[in-house]
Amino acid sequence: MDYVKLINCMRCGMCLPSCPTYKETFLETASPRGRVALVRKVQEGELDQSERLLEYLSLCLDCQACASACPCGVNAGELVAEFTCERKESLGLGFMEELVLRRLVPHPDRLEGSMTPLRAYQKTGLQKLVRKLGVLKMFPKKLERMEGLLPELPARPLRQEIMEVTPAAGTERGTVGFFLGCVMSLIFSEASRATINLLSSLGYRVITPRSQVCCGAPNMLGGDLEGLKEAARTNIDIFAGYDLDFIVTDCGGCGAELKKYGHHLPGDPAAEAFGAKVRDIAQVLALHSGDLAPRLQPVDLKVTYHDPCHIAHCQGIRREPRELLRLVPGLTYAELAEADSCCGSAGTYNIARPGMSDRILHRKLANIAASGAEVLVTGNPGCLLQLRKGLADHLPHVRIMHLTELLARSAGLA
């Protein structure tokens, strides 16, 4: 951990109003400034890595809203994540981490295979029965939460269905690589199909290498830096095999991680080059808004947009999604209050810290209700899972869509 990054914090407090957990608790230990101070005091030997200290740090969502707010470029969320990752790494991977991060996540076939029982569980009607009987109440709370978050799964993951090369519709303007996020492919495959269709309709040949692996973000979370680097090297090699204008993803979390490959593999020019080519889908579509606009048919809906942390704070993308939504004729756009404040999903946070996650979710839901929107648009699968469930439970009249689903529908591509 770089000590200078810690002492760069001048404790001005500008991060406090941006931090979802500070807004809920008003506690300095639950603020970015406080977290930087805690990590710094550990580095300086003034505090031990006590259980309480780790508990305080674990309340951080790593949403990085604090980084957007910081006047001197400190990223408290990232510092806490690095500290936690280094600490976990020094302890070694546990049995479950080893199993999931090394034997499951890096192998798309196995990961997809692991979903088969879940699909069967939904298809056979067992899910309905289980939910009706409340069987899950007998199992640990976490399992019940995980089960509740799961929407209806597509018949097959997109990775297995999509052609490796989708030709450009009409005149070809270039070639892009498509990075399939695990959750997008497994759960929101319709949205990713819409993404590919939009790219193709705008004249891009879309290459979706079937051998690509998970971006490595779960490894970072689990303290498996080596696994993350391995994933990075694999993906860099695979995409280096094509001559690409961009590497596009419609998963905010993957995009943020892929753009950091150069940071994870310092001194590796291929990693730098890879990172520099990565674009969120909204960035690419916004480049061609002039071509896109005439294809869009009226969508008579009131729509609002939730900024995923991994898109707004980690990648600095805020303007493009809004511009794209405003292109759609008939669509009424209503800005969401605190639009770039986390929804409480935050990777596995909604499972690990359900209490705080729910408080943050409810704040978000209240803002969505106040916007009067009928459709909530966003761009990250974690947010889609969390908010889909939140809306279904509390605001059932509001639908949720990925940005590309709405645009593809308007363009007649869905």
- Please pick, from the candidates 2, 50, 133, 335, the single residue that binds other proteins as defined by CB under 8 A: 50
If binding is defined by CB under 8 A, does position 370 make contact with other proteins? Answer: no
Nearest-approach distance from CB 15 to other proteins, in angstroms: 9
Of the ranges 50-58, 80-88, 95-103, 397-405, which one interacts with other proteins (CB under 8 A)? 50-58
Nearest-approach distance from CB 360 to other proteins, in angstroms: 17
If binding is defined by CB under 8 A, does position 29 make contact with other proteins? Answer: yes
Of the ranges 23-31, 173-181, 272-280, 309-317, which one interacts with other proteins (CB under 8 A)? 23-31
Binding-residue total with other proteins (CB under 8 A): 29
Q: How far apart are CA 110 and CA 116, in angstroms?
A: 10
Q: What is the CA radius of gyration of the chain?
A: 21
Of the ranges 1-9, 274-282, 307-315, 322-330, which one interacts with other proteins (CB under 8 A)? 1-9
Distances (CA, A) of 135 to 130, 131, 142, 147, 176: 5, 7, 14, 11, 46
Q: Are 258 and 249 in contact (CB under 8 A)?
A: yes
If binding is defined by CB under 8 A, does position 126 make contact with other proteins? Answer: no
- Please pick, from the candidates 2, 17, 120, 412, the single residue that binds other proteins as defined by CB under 8 A: 17
If binding is defined by CB under 8 A, does position 13 make contact with other proteins? Answer: yes
Q: Are 180 and 154 in contact (CB under 8 A)?
A: no
As separate numbers, helices (DSSP H) first and strands (DSSP E) second, the chain gives: 26, 9
Element at 377 (helix H, strand E): strand 375-378
Residues 66-125 that bind other proteins (CB under 8 A): 71-73
Of the ranges 11-19, 103-111, 223-231, 346-354, which one interacts with other proteins (CB under 8 A)? 11-19
Main-chain dihedrals φ then ψ at residue 207, nearest 5 degrees? -105, 125
Nearer to other proteins, 13 or 329 (CB): 13
Tell me the DSSP string of 154-218.
PSS-HHHHS-SEEPPSSS--EEEEEE--HHHHHT-HHHHHHHHHHHHHTTEEEE--TT----SHH
- Please pick, from the candidates 21, 32, 37, 215, the single residue that binds other proteins as defined by CB under 8 A: 37
Residues 53-72 that bind other proteins (CB under 8 A): 53, 56, 71-72
If binding is defined by CB under 8 A, does position 316 make contact with other proteins? Answer: no
β-sheet with 302-305: strand ranges across: 332-333, 302-305, 375-378, 399-402
Of the ranges 22-30, 175-183, 272-280, 318-326, which one interacts with other proteins (CB under 8 A)? 22-30
Q: From 260, 256, 218, select the one nearest 236 (Cα to Cα).
A: 260
Which residues are within 8 A (CB) of 384 and not within 5 positions of it... i.e. 6 or more apart? Answer: 188, 191, 378, 400, 402
Q: How far apart are CA 38 and CA 29, in angstroms?
A: 8
Nearest-approach distance from CB 43 to other proteins, in angstroms: 13
Residue 86, number of CB atoms within 10 A of its CB: 13
Q: From 280, 306, 283, select the one nearest 395 (Cα to Cα).
A: 306
- Please pick, from the candidates 52, 128, 142, 210, the single residue that binds other proteins as defined by CB under 8 A: 52
Q: How far apart are CA 187 and CA 111, in angstroms?
A: 12
Of the ranges 31-39, 88-96, 175-183, 263-271, which one interacts with other proteins (CB under 8 A)? 31-39
Nearest-approach distance from CB 87 to other proteins, in angstroms: 16
Of the ranges 51-59, 130-138, 209-217, 237-245, which one interacts with other proteins (CB under 8 A)? 51-59
- Please pick, from the candidates 24, 28, 78, 358, the single residue that binds other proteins as defined by CB under 8 A: 28
Q: Which residues bind other proteins (CB under 8 A)?
A: 4, 7-8, 10-14, 16-17, 26-29, 31, 33-34, 37-38, 41, 46-47, 50, 52-53, 56, 71-73
